[in-house]
A and B are shown apart, each in its own frame.
Chain A
Amino acid sequence: MPQPDRNTARNDRVQRMHGGLTELDRWLDDRIRTGLADPSLARYATWDDLAARLVDAQAGSLANRIRRLAGLVGASPGWHDDVLAELGLLHLLSQAGRHLGSLPGPLADAVATAVGWQVKQADVLAGVPDTDHWVVAGRSDVREDRIEVRRHWLRGTSSGQWALCLSFAAYQQSLDTSLRVGTSLHADLHRYPGPALRSLVGARYALPVDPVTPPSQTIAEGCNEVGSMLVAEPWLDRLPVTIRARLARSGEVWALADATGSLPVLNAGTRQFDAGLAMLLAVSEGREVDLTVEWTPHGVVPLSIHLPDRTIDVGPRANTSFVSAA
């Protein structure tokens, strides 16, 4: 968590961030006053100017959220719902970010991270590690602006806790290939400040072992697990969960289903081709299988299929013409 009194540079940084958050809230207020039907929402400058100012204010994570939000406008019939929800979360973060001093320590750290407060990797690695046998349960690659982001979701065999290892690659750079889905890694994980999922891998005590399946649960139980994580940090927009489910059709979209209910698959119209989904369909043949998925507010993304003898990585994969080692 930022400690504003530590030195002048940090004070300046906190002040800039505070100013950026104040401006963000003013901008949010304008959107709510003029309404989502306001034609200015369709203009790139409406979003990009704000994002640039948030970058200047050291609130890079919020700037990324603003850019992603711009992409939601007009993107689906229900875009008003999606945009309004995101405006609400931005308001929550801007309010919390301006009152960090009055929040409990871990929550303040989580808010600071969500706003974009930078923490040096060396500081993270200097923290107390979580040592466990970490199952690499799933992987997803997502292009964010001009950067490819790779998420590896790890689950502690003893603790049952989730962790997230990120890697980034610009054009023609390489993503991390050291974590292989379906293997278990005996290693130290160092978490970012707060109750953070985001972690760095520290010391590794053995070569990865495979195959390993994380424990699965019903869809209803999986929703409870996701809900518990969202109670702590409602602004999280990607969370991992391992469930036992089968593919099913819900009208014109694919969904995961079991006896307890269903979850829509993100961007998965039954008439569109999705390589990961087709692989899931082929491997499962419509039967229930153990799956690690990434929950998002708009649907789940299947990441891996855990079979008794192997794990199949079906997560979205970066385009190899953009980044190497994908």
Chain B
Amino acid sequence: MKSVDEHWQALVTTALLGTDRREPPEAPQLIADLVADTARTTASERMLAQVAATTAVRRAGVIPGPPLDELAMPDGDDRQPCVPAAVDRWHHITASWPVLEDEWILTLVTAGWRIAPELLPAMLMRHRSDPVRRTRVMVGAGSTGRWLVGHVPDLAARHPNATVTPEALAELPELPIAPELAQLVNRPGAESGGVLAQSLEDGTLGHPHRAMLINLVARVRADALLDIADILGAVDSISPGYGLATVLGDLATTRHRMLDELST
């Protein structure tokens, strides 16, 4: 007796040619019972009824395909994946503060974390072309990163043979900061924050200096960040520098939290 699947194949063959050229196949009992009536007089009507019934039966009888071999798993990695808050932070900084991304990955590696696996595809895809960042990601990714690239060729590096020096790998890229601002990099937060707040309020610093100010906050010493954020948060809301102070305060807060989440 014909199975439902065999009957379906016969229906597909008939449907390709059309019932003007070929009569519908004889239905197996199961389908014939479902479509048995005298109302359908033409071949196409009988065919449509069979197609509808057979489709409904096949869908309701959804069954799994055969079991499949397991994938070979990646080698183990003793490092813990970074915490979910750090994962969220990476998404936030790549969207809003990309100037912090190098420090995110360097801090993660230095602190002995590995990149949380759910971040790997996005990070590998984002850093296919830059050899230094790519190498940092692969260090942070460990064996899972290499294993993943093996399974998903689109995640492979664009320049796999590029040479990266250990110095380039370990150092944050230098950011352009004007000399008069650069001296604030190593100052305590109360001092550097005070200078910034005063200069923003009196208009000495403003939007033309935005890029340099962002670079400065991205490189000031870590223990200065909270003070800077607090002081910038207190900038007079009617002063011309209020908007920029808020932006820089957010950057300082974001960087402080980022470093906190990635601390050991």
Residues of A within 8 A of B (CB): 25, 28-29, 32-38, 80-81, 84-85, 87-89, 91-92, 95, 219-220, 223, 226-227, 230-231, 234, 246-250, 255, 257-264, 270-273, 275, 278-279, 281-283, 285-287, 295, 297, 309-310, 312
Judge whether A295 and B62 touch: CB under 8 Å. Answer: yes
Determine if B179 is an interface residue (Cβ-Cβ < 8 Å): no
Determine if B121 is an interface residue (Cβ-Cβ < 8 Å): yes
Separation in Å of the B18 CB from the closest CB of chain A? Answer: 3
* B42 proximity list for chain A (CB < 8 A): 29
Judge whether A283 and B45 touch: CB under 8 Å. Answer: no
Cα distance, A254 to B264, chains bound together (Å)? 38
Cα distance, A227 to B17, chains bound together (Å)? 31
Judge whether A283 and B117 touch: CB under 8 Å. Answer: yes
Residue of B nearest to A286 (CB): B71
Residue-wise, chain B 4-32 has the 8 Å CB interface mask toward A (1 for contact) of 00001001100111111100000000000
Given contacts A35-B18, A37-B17, A227 and B61 within 8 Å (CB-CB) = yes
Judge whether B18 and A84 touch: CB under 8 Å. Answer: no
Judge whether A35 and B68 touch: CB under 8 Å. Answer: no
* B64 proximity list for chain A (CB < 8 A): 219-220, 223, 260-263
* A34 proximity list for chain B (CB < 8 A): 18, 20
What are 8 inter-chain pairs, A to B, with CB distance below 8 A?
A32-B51, A230-B56, A248-B70, A264-B65, A278-B121, A278-B155, A282-B148, A285-B144
Residue of A nearest to B64 (CB): A261
* A36 proximity list for chain B (CB < 8 A): 15-16, 18
Judge whether B65 and A261 touch: CB under 8 Å. Answer: yes
Judge whether A248 and B15 touch: CB under 8 Å. Answer: no
Judge whether B52 and A273 touch: CB under 8 Å. Answer: no
Cα distance, A87 to B121, chains bound together (Å)? 39
Given contacts A262-B67, A285-B147, A88 and B51 within 8 Å (CB-CB) = yes
Residue-wise, chain B 50-82 has the 8 Å CB interface mask toward A (1 for contact) of 011111101111111111111111100000000
Q: Which listed residue, B19, B52, B121, touches A89 by the CB 8 Å rule? A: B52
Judge whether A257 and B44 touch: CB under 8 Å. Answer: no
Cα distance, A58 to B49, chains bound together (Å)? 24
* A264 proximity list for chain B (CB < 8 A): 65
Given contacts A37-B16, A81-B12, A262 and B55 within 8 Å (CB-CB) = no
Separation in Å of the A325 CB from the closest CB of chain B? Answer: 13
Determine if B1 is an interface residue (Cβ-Cβ < 8 Å): no
Residues of B within 8 A of A (CB): 8, 11-12, 15-21, 42-45, 47-49, 51-56, 58-74, 84, 117-118, 120-122, 125, 144, 147-148, 151-155
Separation in Å of the A258 CB from the closest CB of chain B? Answer: 7
Judge whether A32 and B118 touch: CB under 8 Å. Answer: no
Cα distance, A37 to B13, chains bound together (Å)? 10
Separation in Å of the B227 CB from the closest CB of chain A? Answer: 33
Separation in Å of the B58 CB from the closest CB of chain A? Answer: 8
Cα distance, A299 to B20, chains bound together (Å)? 33
Q: Which listed residue, A25, A29, A35, A95, touches B17 by the CB 8 Å rule? A: A35
Judge whether B62 and A88 touch: CB under 8 Å. Answer: no
Judge whether B19 and A32 touch: CB under 8 Å. Answer: yes
Cα distance, A263 to B67, chains bound together (Å)? 9
Separation in Å of the B147 CB from the closest CB of chain A? Answer: 7
Judge whether A92 and B56 touch: CB under 8 Å. Answer: yes
Judge whether B144 and A32 touch: CB under 8 Å. Answer: no
Q: Which listed residue, A33, A84, A309, touches B51 by the CB 8 Å rule? A: A84
Cα distance, A246 to B16, chains bound together (Å)? 37
* B154 proximity list for chain A (CB < 8 A): 272-273
Residue of B nearest to A270 (CB): B151
Sample of 4 further A-B pairs with CB below 8 A, known A85-B58, A227-B60, A270-B151: A227-B59, A261-B63, A261-B66, A262-B68
Residue of A nearest to B9 (CB): A81
Residue of B nearest to A246 (CB): B70
Given contacts A234-B59, A286-B72, A312 and B118 within 8 Å (CB-CB) = yes
Cα distance, A161 to B19, chains bound together (Å)? 43
Judge whether B121 and A279 touch: CB under 8 Å. Answer: yes
Separation in Å of the A171 CB from the closest CB of chain B? Answer: 21
Judge whether A91 and B51 touch: CB under 8 Å. Answer: yes
Residue of B nearest to A274 (CB): B152
Judge whether B66 and A281 touch: CB under 8 Å. Answer: no
* A89 proximity list for chain B (CB < 8 A): 52, 55-56
Q: Which listed residue, A28, A84, A227, A257, touches B12 by the CB 8 Å rule? A: A84
Judge whether A32 and B67 touch: CB under 8 Å. Answer: no
* B17 proximity list for chain A (CB < 8 A): 35, 37
* A32 proximity list for chain B (CB < 8 A): 15, 18-19, 44, 47-48, 51
Q: Which listed residue, B15, B43, B68, touches A84 by the CB 8 Å rule? A: B15
Q: Which 5 A-B pairs have the closest CB atoms?
A: A261-B64, A35-B18, A286-B71, A88-B51, A278-B121
Separation in Å of the A257 CB from the closest CB of chain B? Answer: 4
Judge whether A275 and B74 touch: CB under 8 Å. Answer: no
Cα distance, A55 to B68, chains bound together (Å)? 44
Cα distance, A25 to B48, chains bound together (Å)? 9
Separation in Å of the B73 CB from the closest CB of chain A? Answer: 5
Q: Which listed residue, B21, B62, B69, B147, touches A248 by the CB 8 Å rule? A: B69
Judge whether A80 and B118 touch: CB under 8 Å. Answer: no
Separation in Å of the A127 CB from the closest CB of chain B? Answer: 28
Given contacts A37-B17, A84-B15, A227-B60, A234 and B55 within 8 Å (CB-CB) = yes
Judge whether A84 and B49 touch: CB under 8 Å. Answer: no
Judge whether B118 and A279 touch: CB under 8 Å. Answer: yes
